[in-house]
Structure 1
Amino acid sequence: MNSLEDIIDWIKNTWNIELFKLGSNEFTIKTFLLLSISFFLLFFFSGKLKRLLVKVVFPRYNVDIGVSESIATIIKYLLLIVGIVIIFQTTGIDLSALGLLVGALGVGIGFGLQGITNNFISGIIILFERPIKVGDRIEVEGLTGNIVEINARASTIITNDNITVIVPNSDFINKQVINWSHNNKNIRLNIPIGVSYKEEPQVVTEILMGIAKLHPGVLEEPPPYVRFDEFGDSSLKFTLQIWTLEYIDRPSIIKSDIYYEVFRIFKEKNIEIPYPQRDIHIKESKQ
C-alpha cells in the first residue's frame, strides 16, 4: 500500500516539475502535456472541419469550389485563433505576460521572417480578394497549371505534366499573374495555319470552320472563327480561333487534334501546305 502511495506521490511531483518560467507563467510537465494535446486536437479537428465543409456541406448548396475553399480556410483560421486563446486561458497562462515573447518574435520577424510574414499576409489577401481560387487555370513567371490548394504560406499548382509546384503566396501579389479562368472557365485558342498562294481563301475558311465545328471539345458559343491574317513570304496565313472548356488544362491536345484533321482534309482536297523557300539569284561576274 505504501508503495502505491509512493508511486502516486512520485507522479504528482513529476507532473508538477517546472520546466521553465516565462513572466509569471510556470511551464510544468503537466502544462506542456496539456498544451501539446490541446493543440494537436485543435489543429486536427479544424482540418477535419475544413474538409467537411469543402467535401460535404458546400457541395450540397452548389457552392463554387474556389469560393468554398476560401470560406473554409477563413473559418479554419478563425477557429485556430479562438481555440489558441481558449487553450491558453484554460491552462492558466496569463496572455498579458507573454508580451516579452511577442516582442522577441517581432524582432525575429523584422530580421529573419520577412518572407514568411509576407507570404502569410499575401495568403490572407488572396483568401479575401480572391484574385485566384482553387480550380483556376493560371500562369505566373512562365509556370502554367491549375490551383489545387491555397494555404497560409504557399499555394499548390499542378502542371500539365502532373508535376506539383509549391508557389509562395507573395508571388501572386507581387508578380504578374495571368488567370485564364478568372471570369469564366472558357478560353480561346489561336491555331495558325498556312496554305499555298494558289488556294482559294474562302474554300480554306470553310474547311477550317467545318473541322472546328465537328470537334467535340470546341464550344458552339462563342462560335469558332477563321481570320485571314496576311500574305506571308511563302504562304497565305490564317488563324483558326476556337473556344474550349474541356481542354482548358490540355490546350496542346486539342491543337494536335485540329492539326491532324487539317492535314487529313487538306490532303483529301489537294490543298497544298507550303514550306518556307527562298529564291537565290547568282550573278555571273563579267570578265
Structure 2
Amino acid sequence: MSQLKRAWWMGLMAIACSLCWMLPGLAVDEALPDTPRVPIVLDGRELFVIGNLDDFAASERADFVTRVLQDQRRRIPPNVPIRVTQLQRGELITLRLSGRHLLTITEQDLIGNLPVQEQADLWADKLQSALEQARQQRTRQYRQRTLVKSLLAAFGIGGLYFLLRWFRRWLRRRRGQFSREQRSWSEVALFGLQWAIVFGFGLWLTEIWPEVRSLRYPALSFLQTTFTADTLSLGERGYSILEISKVILLALALWFVVRALTRGIRSRFLQTIGADPTVQDAIALSIQIILTTLGLLVLLQAVGIDISSLAIFASVIGVGIGFGLQNIANNFISGLIIMLERPVQVGDFVKLGDLTGTVERIGIRSTEISTLDRVTIIVPNSEFIDSKVINWSHGYPVSRLHIPLGVAYGSPIKQVRQAVFEAAKHHPKVLRYPKPQLWFEGFGDSSLDFNLLVWIREPRQQFRIKSDLYYLLEANLRRFHIEIPFPQRDLNLRTPGLEEFAQRLQTPEDRADLPLPALKHPAKQSTLTPPETLAAAIADCGILDHTDAPADIEIQELVAQMRGRNGLDIRDRRFGLHVYTRCFVGSEAVQWLMQQQLASREEAIKLGQVLVERGIIHHVTDEHTFKDSHLFYRFFEDEMEL
C-alpha cells in the first residue's frame, strides 16, 4: 500500500469512528435501558423521557404530550405568557399547561432517587423554557436574524472550503518541495478538514431552524433505532450494528498501530544491528502477529464480548480453513517455514519449474520473482515447499556451466583443445580455478561431440556468459581453421541397367553418341579471412562489451534535453531551514527519464548514476549517489555559475 492510500484509509477510518460515536448523541440526550422509556420531543429537541402508566404505554403517553405541546404552542398568543402549573393529587403530581392536562408523574418516570416534587419542578421548568424558545424562534425578528447569519456563514464556509481546495492544488504544484509522505498526509488532512467544515455547517444550519430541526429528528431517530438494535447475539448478550462497527474500526486502528510499531522496530532496531532482510521480515511478522492477537483479545474483553462465547465461531472458522481456505492456510504456513528456515532469501537467483529469476520479496502468502525479462511473477509460497527449487545463490554461489559443441570429423583434437581453452580463458567471468575442462562426449552423426565445463561465481549472468563463450568459441575455431559441421547424409542409388550402360562405354563409337555431362562450377570460396588473434576477433564483433554506457554525444543530447524548456523542474528548493538553489528532485528525474527517454525505472536510475559518475550532476551535499527518492541534485554547470 502506498503512502497516499494508507493516509486516505486512515482518514476515512477516523471519520467513520467519529460518526459512530456521534450518532447516538445526536438523537438521544437521556437513556435509561432498565425500563422502557420514550422521549418527549418539541421542535426536534428531547426534553425528558417518560415510562409506562398502568394501561398506557410510554409511547402513547409521549404522543399525547407531544400533541398537546404543539397544539398549545400554536394557540397561545405571543403576548400571553406560558405557564406550566402543578396539581397535587394524593402522592402523584400532574403537570398542566394553560389549564390543560399534560402528564402525571409516576414512579416509572422518576430518575434515580430524585423526589417527585423536585422532578416535577425540573420538568416544569424544561417545558416552560422550551415552549418560550419555540415561540420566540418563530417570530419575524428571529427569522430575519437567522437568515442573515445563515447567509454570512454560508459565504464564510464556502470561502474557507475553496481556500482549502486551492491550497491542496498549490501543494500538488509544489510537490517537489515536500516528500511523498508529507504530501499524502497533507492531502488527507486538508480533505478531511474540508468535509468536516461542510458537515459541521450542515449540523449548525439544521439546529438553528426549528422546522428543519423537526425534520432532522425522525431521520436521526430512525438511524439510531437501526444501528442500535441488537442484530447479533453472542452468549447472553446482543450486539448492534453500531457496536459491531466500533469493534471493526477499533480492530483496524489496532492493525494500523501495530504495523506502524512493527515498521519502527524494523527500521530503528533490526536494520541498525545489520540483520538479514529475511530475518527482519520473519521477526517483524512474528511481532505483528503476536501484538495483533493480544490486542484483539484485550479489545474484545474491553467491549464486553465474552471470549468463551466465540468458541463456536472459532470452530466454524477452523472448518472453513480445513476445507475452503486450505490453500491459503498452506501458503501461510509455507511462508512461515521459508522465513524461519530461509532456504530462499530476498535477492537469490532461483529456478522454479520453468521460471527463472531473482527473488524480490517474500510475503506471508506469496513470493515475488523478477524474471530475466523484468516481469514480476507472484508465486504461492507452497510451490517453494512442495516443488524442487534450484537456488544458485544459496550457500556457495559458484556454479558450473555446460557448453556443448561439435567439430567436424578429421579435426585435430590437440588444436581443438587449444582453441577451446584459449576462448574460455579470455572471458573475465570464467574462474581460473577450478580450471575449465573439455570432455569428449562421443562420436556423433556428423561431428565429434565435446562438452566445455567452466565455473562462474555470478549465476544470474549465466545466460549472458554462455552467449559470450559461444561467440568466443566460433571466432577462435575459425581462427584455427577448425570446421563446425552441419548434418550430413550419404545417398546410395541403385540402377538396374547400370551394367549394360557400362558395357556400352567400352567401344569408342558408343562413347561418341553419349551426351557430355554438364560442367560443374567450383564452389565459391568464402572471402571471410580468419582473424590472426583471438583479441582481434573480440574487437571485430564486440564480444564482452556489456557496459551499455551511452556515448558522449548521447550524453550531451540528454543533458541538453534535461536542461531545456520541457526538461526537469530546476529551481530553488527548501528543506528544513536551508534553501538549495537551482536543483531538481531525484524521483522527478527518474519519472522524466521514463516518460521522455522511454526507459524502465532500473535503466533510468542507472542513467542518472552515469551522469553522477561522469561529473555532470551531483547530490547537493555529496552524501548520496543517484537514487529514486526525494533527494536534491544539481548540475555542475549550475554549481560553477553559483
TM-score, normalised with respect to structure 2: 0.39
Pair 219,43 (structure 1): closer, same or farther in 2 beyond 3 Å: farther
What percent identity do the matched residue pairs reach?
37
Residue 175 in structure 1 maps to residue 387 in structure 2: yes
Aligned pair partner of 2:26 in 3, 6, 10? 10
Shift of 1:96: 2.2
**Structure 2 equivalent of residue 194 of structure 1:** 406
Superposition pairs of residues 61-140 of structure 1, within 5 angstroms: 61-140=273-352
2:493 to 261, 279, 282: 282
For residues 208 and 131 of structure 1, the distance between their equivalents in structure 2, rounded to whole angstroms, comes to 37
Q: Work out which of the two has the higher radius of gyration on C-alpha atoms and give 1 or 2.
A: 2
**1:212 is matched by which residue type in structure 2?**
A
Segment of structure 1 superposing worse, 162-171 or 32-41: 32-41
Distance 1:265 1:48 in 2: 61
Q: List runs of 5+ in structure 2 lacking aligned partners.
A: 1-21, 30-223, 499-642
Q: Is the 8 A contact 2:368 2:376 kept in 1?
A: yes
Shift of 1:168: 1.6
Quick one: structure 1 residues 106 and 8, their matched pair in 2 at CA, closer, same or farther if it must change by over 3 Å? closer
Match of 2:601 in 1: none
Partner amino acid, structure 2, of 1:234: S
8 Å CA contact retained: 1:139, 1:177: yes
* Shift of residue 60, structure 1, vs aligned partner: 4.8
8 Å contact 2:351–2:391 — kept in the other structure?
A: yes
| Helix, strand or coil at the partner of 1:249 | helix
Instruction: Supply the distance in 1 between the matched residues of 2:453 and 2:264 (Cα, whole angstroms).
Output: 40
Report the Cα offset of residue 112 of structure 1: 1.5
Letter in structure 2 aligned against 1:150: I
What displacement does 1:124 show? 2.1
Match of 1:227 among 439, 446, 455: 439
Distance 1:185 1:72 in 2: 28
What pairs with 1:30-49 in structure 2 (closer than 5 Å)?
A: 32-33=245-246, 35-43=248-256, 45-46=258-259, 49=262
CA distance in 2, matches of 1:274, 1:205: 17
Alignment of 1:131-280 (within 5 A): 131-246=343-458, 248-280=459-491
The answer (yes or no) to whether the contact 2:419–2:480 under 8 Å persists in 1 is no
CA offset at residue 281 of structure 1?
1.8
Scaled by the length of structure 1, the TM-score of the pair is 0.80
Q: Which amino acid aligns with 2:472?
A: E
Shift of 1:190: 0.7
Deviation at 1:259, TM superposition (A): 1.0
CA contact 2:403–2:453 (8 Å) conserved in 1:
yes
1:25 Cα deviation after fit? 6.4
Q: Is the 8 A contact 2:349 2:391 kept in 1?
A: yes
How many corresponding residue pairs? 280
Q: Which has the higher contact order (CA 8 A, sep 6+)?
A: 1
Question: Aligned in 2, Cα 1:150/1:47: closer, same or farther, shift over 3 Å?
Answer: farther
Distance 1:144 1:8, change over 3 A: closer
Asked if 2 retains the 8 angstrom alpha-carbon contact of 1:138 and 1:180, the reply is yes
Give unpaired runs (5+ residues) of structure 1: 1-5
Contact 2:360–2:369 (Cα < 8 Å) also in 1: yes
Q: Give the C-alpha shift of residue 236 in structure 1.
A: 1.8
Q: CA 1:87 to 1:238, structure 2 compared with 1: closer, same or farther past 3 Å?
A: farther
Amino acid at match of 1:46: R
The Cα of 1:191 is off from its aligned counterpart by 0.9
Superposed CA RMSD in Å reads: 3.3
CA contact (8 A) 2:278 2:346 kept: yes
SS at match of 1:280: coil
Superimposed CA distance per residue, residues 73-99 of structure 1 (whole angstroms, 9 cap, x where no aligned partner): 334333433343344344443322221
Partners of 2:263 and 2:434 in 1: CA distance: 37
TM-superposed CA distance for 1:192, in Å, is 0.8
Alpha-carbon shift at residue 105 of structure 1 (Å): 1.2
The CA distance in 2 between the partners of 1:237 and 1:46, in whole Å, is: 60
Task: Write the distance in 2 (CA, Å) between the matches of 1:52 and 1:211.
Answer: 52
Instruction: Encode CA deviations 1:160-185: one digit per residue, 9 max, x unaligned.
Output: 11122122222222233333333332
Equivalent pair of 2:408/2:485 in contact (CA under 8 Å): yes
